[in-house]
């Protein structure tokens, strides 16, 4: 009798657990479906990219930005009121760089008055730790040079190799970034190369605008190299996201899709490709604009999204970042940049060239006193330099785990 009773209780408990798990899964599916409906707006046209991405051409006034309550009656600014002025000593070299595009362009283009948006799939959401956290960086993933007085402990799971400037007011930054496809060890790791526009302290109130390229299997479901942007006004806690995965950034370009693959990519010892990114603050409207290459003004982050960056930035950074999950206690073999150290130089190590800042007079100029920072130079390193052809530049990156980085 006791055995039968115990068995019955066990079966009842298992049934309750099964029912509970089923309800939780149903809730997750329902939540994912609602979130997909918020993100994927009805398209005017759809383009299937050779890499499997679906690009939706969405009317400019229907993009996710306008889900923000402060943007309900916003009039889209179709162009910036002011561009940064090029100073007389500005260096802009196109030597050794080749043209670069996005893969989806092979199968079509979006019409005028629409913006191309990479469609989010159900599997994308389910890879995230939660639907709510989808499209967001982990808290405290910012590189902090030793000169920074911070109450924000450095995230041990993130490593960087960067150049930076501080000690002034900055109204934008520009760089031309060598493009590679670094190898990723674990799907929950990523490798990116970007510029950071930073305001506030390195505490809970950090403001950041970021742009560059990344390889992120967790976010995109593959190992393609993709153009991306990011923003936050509270150190990656509750605000901001990648690309157009939340309300905030307003896109105006019908040519370039955030989060879409870029090609071709650089070859070790072979052809080198790079992308140019400029982010600046419009001195009239106060919005932060981004330009890709010489021809594509992508859009803007409205000034109200930020606290400190409503005025200016306190620090600019250029360089690479990886996630190091330290599987079984060993350093990751996820690569940064080309996966090779800076001393190998052009064609082998990844670079940022023509590094510039926008000053208070809205002039693009070469920064003074550029510092460098890396947590572990035996894993990923950075070296800076200056010449007539490239202006200020850095080589950066590395292979991760090696004999000097166990």
Indicate the helix (H) or strand (E) that contains 142: none
Percent with pLDDT over 90 in the chain: 78
pLDDT score at 357: 98
Instruction: Compare 21 and 90 and report the one with higher pLDDT.
Output: 21
| CA gap 120, 32 in Å, rounded | 11
Q: Torsion over CA of 199, 396, 193 and 98, rounded to 10 degrees?
A: 130
Mean pLDDT over 358-372 rounds to 96
Mean pLDDT over 18-34 rounds to 72
Within 13 A of 56's CA, how many CA atoms are on the CB side? 18
The per-residue pLDDT for range 98-123, each reduced to its tens digit, is: 578 899 999 999 999 999 999 999 99
The per-residue pLDDT for range 322-358, each reduced to its tens digit, is: 999 998 899 999 999 999 999 999 999 999 999 999 9
pLDDT score at 228: 98
Is residue 88 over pLDDT 70?
Answer: no
Is residue 148 over pLDDT 60?
Answer: no
Whether 231 contacts 240, CB under 8 Å:
yes
Q: Which of 92, 166, 189, 210 is catalytic?
A: 210
Indicate the pLDDT class of residue 132, thresholds 50, 70 and 90: confident
pLDDT score at 152: 38
The per-residue pLDDT for range 307-322, each reduced to its tens digit, is: 999 999 999 999 999 9
- H helices of 255-372, in order, are none
Q: Is 155 considered catalytic here?
A: no
Instruction: Compare 32 and 52 and report the one with higher pLDDT.
Output: 52
Is residue 147 over pLDDT 70?
Answer: no
Count other Cβ atoms within 10 Å, centred on residue 304. 15
pLDDT score at 27: 72
Q: Which of 131-140, 198-207, 360-369 has the lowest mean pLDDT?
A: 131-140
Q: Which of 80-94, 277-291, 365-379 has the lowest mean pLDDT?
A: 80-94
Q: Is 112 considered catalytic here?
A: no
Instruction: Compare 343 and 139 and report the one with higher pLDDT.
Output: 343
pLDDT score at 18: 74
Beta strand residue intervals within 293-390, DSSP E: 296-301, 313-323, 350-358, 363-365, 371-374, 381-387
The mean of the pLDDT values for the chain is: 90
Within 13 A of 74's CA, how many CA atoms are on the CB side? 26
Q: Which of 255, 321, 326, 328 is catalytic?
A: 321
| CA gap 193, 366 in Å, rounded | 20
Q: Which of 17-31, 32-46, 296-310 has the lowest mean pLDDT?
A: 17-31
- What one-character-per-residue DSSP string does 222-255 give? S---EEEEEEESSTTSSS-EETTSSS--EE--SS
The per-residue pLDDT for range 246-300, each reduced to its tens digit, is: 999 999 999 999 999 999 999 999 999 999 999 999 999 999 999 999 989 999 9
Strand order from edge to edge, sheet including 45-48: 45-48, 54-59, 114-118
Is residue 5 over pLDDT 80?
Answer: no
* Residue 78 neighbours by CB under 8 Å, 6+ apart: 252
| CA gap 396, 350 in Å, rounded | 6
The structure tokens 């080749």 sit at: 98
């Amino acid at each position: 009798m006791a055995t039968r009773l115990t068995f019955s209780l066990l079966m009842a408990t298992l049934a309750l657990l099964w029912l509970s798990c089923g309800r939780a899964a149903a809730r997750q599916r329902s939540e994912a479906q609602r979130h997909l409906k918020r993100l994927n707006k009805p398209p005017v046209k759809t383009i299937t990219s050779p890499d499997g991405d679906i690009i939706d051409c969405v009317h400019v006034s229907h993009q996710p930005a306008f889900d923000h309550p402060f943007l309900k009656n916003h009039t889209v600014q179709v162009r910036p009121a002011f561009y940064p002025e090029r100073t007389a000593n500005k260096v802009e070299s196109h030597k050794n760089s080749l043209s670069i595009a996005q893969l989806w362009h092979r199968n079509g283009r979006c019409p005028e008055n629409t913006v191309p948006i990479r469609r989010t799939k159900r599997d994308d959401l389910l890879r995230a730790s939660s639907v709510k956290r989808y499209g967001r960086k982990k808290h405290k993933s910012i590189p902090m040079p030793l000169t920074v007085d911070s109450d924000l402990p450095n995230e041990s799971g993130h490593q960087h190799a960067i150049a930076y400037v501080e000690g002034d007011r900055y109204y934008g930054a520009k760089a031309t970034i060598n493009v590679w496809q670094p190898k990723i060890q674990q799907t929950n790791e990523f490798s990116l190369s970007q510029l950071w526009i930073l305001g506030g302290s390195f505490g809970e109130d950090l403001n950041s605008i970021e742009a560059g390229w990344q390889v992120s299997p967790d976010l995109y479901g593959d190992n393609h190299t993709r153009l991306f942007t990011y923003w936050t006004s509270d150190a990656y806690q509750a605000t901001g996201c990648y690309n157009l995965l939340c309300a905030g950034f307003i896109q105006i370009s019908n040519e370039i899709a955030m989060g879409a693959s870029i090609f071709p990519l650089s070859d070790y010892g072979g052809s080198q490709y790079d992308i140019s990114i400029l982010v600046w603050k419009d001195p009239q409207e106060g919005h932060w604009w981004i330009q890709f290459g010489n021809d594509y003004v992508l859009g803007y982050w409205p000034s109200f999204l930020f606290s400190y960056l409503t005025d200016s930035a306190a620090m600019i950074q250029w360089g690479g970042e990886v996630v190091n999950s330290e599987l079984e206690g060993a350093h990751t073999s996820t690569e940064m940049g080309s996966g090779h150290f800076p001393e190998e130089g052009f064609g082998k190590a990844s670079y940022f060239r023509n590094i510039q800042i926008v000053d208070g007079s809205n002039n693009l100029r070469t920064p003074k006193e550029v510092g460098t920072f890396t947590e572990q130079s035996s894993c990923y390193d950075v070296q800076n330099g200056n010449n007539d052809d490239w202006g200020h530049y850095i080589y950066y990156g590395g292979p991760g785990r090696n004999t000097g980085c166990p």
